[in-house]
């Protein structure tokens, strides 16, 4: 049983950060019941539900949320829940009749987790958007990429880093507080806020005047030769992170570069020359040859692997970081707990797969469920 065993979460089906947050909670032992639509929606689904790994470990109930009976049914579930999670635009759940005030009347202890890109208020609150837009406005995208062009960092920075992780943290903090106060509250999680918080150390660098605006001009944005990416002889790449002076000395030793001719590490006047020299050096060996020479050393070195390669790396394999369930490779739960271990509670459910099971668990009779099905309220 994971550390969140005993916490019950009702998730209103959406995409991206909200289901990812609920996957994390489910991995850690929370009971997550996902409310799916009766009919599939155009929400960027991966197709076959078995591949929607963000829904692993959850049970699914299919409900018509636009019907009064569907809303009443959700209230019956919320009466016995600790958390509700929704990822719609501001005002949508209020119009459905399941906004925070409606739910508080049903369960005053309920923690109401809200996930949006722009937040519940502000000039852009009602605007459409995706990860790339939120991280652009927050300043993160402007610092990622080559000098001449920003790079798209998947949807990890906004959706999952600035969104889902902060939502999970906020929910757990609010649940802890509700245990002492007896009162729930709304957790307003906006990706644009979370991404801004992720950039706290960069703001500190800006405040002390140590950041040059623009890309490939600073230590961590590709400007420094000792914190950079290099192409190898076979057209692959390696990552170097030799920030500390002792690690930098180890880098020069293993690349057979004469430190006397290389210049001072943190003197930016030397960076361009140092980088060009390292570009030449790393092109003299293949990625595997550099791995044999540097991996596991204090250079702070790693090969740049594709997602398909990464799962087979000996380190990830030894830790069981990627596991297989029903023939589908996927990341194992993280973080790891010494006593209340997390685990994946099952493969992703089909929408509505557990409708009858869940509703019976919450006290509905078979006759009541039959009537709801006949009325098209549940599937």
- If asked whether residues 177 and 289 sit together in one domain, one would say no
Three-state secondary structure along the chain? CCCCCCCEEEEECCCCHHHHHHHHHHHCCCEEEEEECCCCCCCCCCCCHHHCHHHCCCEEEEECCCCHHHHHHHHHHHCCCCEEEECCCCCHHHHHCCCHHHHHHHCCCCEEEEEECCCCCCCCCCCCCCHHHHHHHHCCHHHCEECCEECCCCCHHHHHHHHHHHHHHHHHHHHHHHHHHCCCCEEEEEHHHHHHHHCHHHHHHHHCCCCCCCCCCCCCCCCCCCEEEEECCCCCEEEEECCCHHHHHHHHHHHCCCHHHCCCCCCHHHHHHHHHHHHHHHCCCCHHHHHHHHCCCCCCEEECCCHHHHCCCHHHHHHCCEEEECCEEEECCCCCCCCCCCCCCCCCCCCCCCHHHHHHHCCCCHHHHHHHHHCCCEC
- If asked whether residues 296 and 328 sit together in one domain, one would say no
Residues 6+ apart with CB under 8 A from 288: 234, 303
90 in any annotated domain? yes
Tell which of 272, 287, 315 closes a domain.
315
- If asked whether residues 287 and 239 sit together in one domain, one would say yes
* pTM exceeds 0.75 for this model: yes
- If asked whether residues 361 and 301 sit together in one domain, one would say no
The pLDDT of residue 82 is 98
Tokens of 317: 């394999």
- If asked whether residues 146 and 261 sit together in one domain, one would say no
The pLDDT of residue 48 is 80
The tens digit of pLDDT for each residue in 321-373 reads: 999 999 999 999 999 999 999 999 999 999 999 999 999 999 999 999 999 99
222 in any annotated domain? no
The tens digit of pLDDT for each residue in 256-294 reads: 999 888 889 999 999 999 999 999 999 999 999 999 999
Rounded Cα distance between 83 and 162, Å, is 20
95 in any annotated domain? yes
The pLDDT of residue 23 is 98
Tokens of 9: 């979460």
Q: Work out the number of other CB atoms within 10 angstroms of the CB of residue 65.
A: 20
Tell which of 271, 286, 315 closes a domain.
315
Q: What is the CATH number of the domain that holds 261?
A: 3.30.1540.10
75 in any annotated domain? yes
211 in any annotated domain? no
106 in any annotated domain? yes
Q: Which domain holds residue 232?
A: 227-315
**Mean of all residue pLDDT scores within the chain:** 95
- If asked whether residues 167 and 269 sit together in one domain, one would say no
- If asked whether residues 157 and 267 sit together in one domain, one would say no
- If asked whether residues 68 and 182 sit together in one domain, one would say yes
Tell which of 315, 340, 355 closes a domain.
315
The residues pairing with 33 across neighbouring beta strands, listed in sequence order, are: 10, 59
pLDDT class for 316, splitting at 50, 70, 90?
A: very high
The pLDDT of residue 49 is 82
| Number of domain units in the chain | 2
- If asked whether residues 307 and 355 sit together in one domain, one would say no
Residues in the chain: 379
Residues classed as catalytic: 130, 159
Residues 6+ apart with CB under 8 A from 346: 56, 57
Contact status, residue 357 vs residue 47, Cβ threshold 8 Å: no
Burial (Cβ within 10 Å: 0-12, 13-18, ≥19) of residue 202: middle
308 in any annotated domain? yes
- If asked whether residues 296 and 337 sit together in one domain, one would say no
- If asked whether residues 251 and 343 sit together in one domain, one would say no
Average confidence (pLDDT) over 113-123: 98
213 in any annotated domain? no
Find the Cα–Cα–Cα–Cα dihedral 78, 79, 80, 82, rounded to 10°: 60
Q: How crowded is the C-beta side of 54, counted as CA atoms within 13 Å?
A: 18
The tens digit of pLDDT for each residue in 86-112 reads: 999 999 999 999 999 999 999 999 999
Report whether pLDDT(47) > 80: no
- If asked whether residues 39 and 78 sit together in one domain, one would say yes
Q: What is the CATH number of the domain that holds 99?
A: 3.40.50.10540
The tens digit of pLDDT for each residue in 202-231 reads: 999 999 999 999 999 999 999 999 999 999
């Amino acid at each position: 049983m994971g550390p969140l065993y005993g916490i019950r979460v009702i998730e209103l089906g959406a995409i991206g950060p909200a289901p990812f947050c609920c996957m994390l909670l489910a991995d850690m032992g929370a009971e997550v019941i996902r409310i799916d639509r009766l009919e599939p929606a155009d929400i960027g689904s991966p197709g076959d539900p078995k591949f929607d790994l963000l829904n692993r470990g959850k049970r699914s109930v299919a409900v018509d949320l636009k019907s009064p009976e569907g809303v009443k049914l959700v209230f019956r579930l919320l009466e016995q829940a600790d958390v509700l999670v929704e990822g719609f635009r501001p005002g949508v759940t209020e119009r459905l009749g399941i906004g925070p005030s409606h739910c508080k009347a049903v369960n005053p202890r309920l923690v109401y987790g809200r996930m949006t890109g722009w937040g519940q208020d502000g000039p852009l609150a009602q605007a459409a958007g995706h990860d790339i837009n939120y991280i652009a406005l927050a300043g993160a995208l402007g610092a990622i990429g080559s000098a001449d062009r920003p790079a798209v960092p998947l949807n990890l920075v906004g959706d999952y880093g600035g969104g889902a992780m902060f939502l999970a943290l906020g929910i757990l903090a609010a649940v802890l507080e509700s245990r002492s106060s007896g009162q729930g509250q709304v957790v307003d999680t906006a990706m644009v806020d979370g991404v801004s918080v992720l950039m706290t150390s960069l703001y500190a660098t800006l405040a002390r005047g140590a950041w040059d605006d623009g890309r490939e001009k600073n230590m961590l944005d590709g400007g420094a030769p000792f914190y950079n990416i290099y192409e190898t002889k076979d057209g692959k790449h390696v990552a170097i992170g030799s920030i500390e002076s002792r690690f930098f000395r180890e880098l020069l030793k293993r690349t057979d570069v004469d430190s006397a001719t290389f210049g001072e590490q943190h003197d930016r006047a030397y960076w361009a020359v140092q980088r060009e020299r390292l570009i030449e050096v790393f092109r003299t060996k293949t990625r595997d040859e550099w791995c044999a020479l540097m991996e596991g050393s204090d250079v702070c070195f790693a090969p740049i692997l594709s997602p398909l390669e990464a799962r087979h790396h000996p380190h990830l394999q030894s830790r069981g970081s990627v596991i297989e369930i029903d023939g589908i490779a996927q990341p194992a739960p993280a973080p790891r707990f010494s006593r209340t271990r997390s685990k994946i509670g099952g493969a992703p459910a089909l929408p509505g797969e557990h409708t009858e099971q869940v509703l019976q668990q919450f006290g509905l009779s078979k006759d009541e469920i039959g009537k709801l099905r006949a009325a098209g309220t549940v599937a």
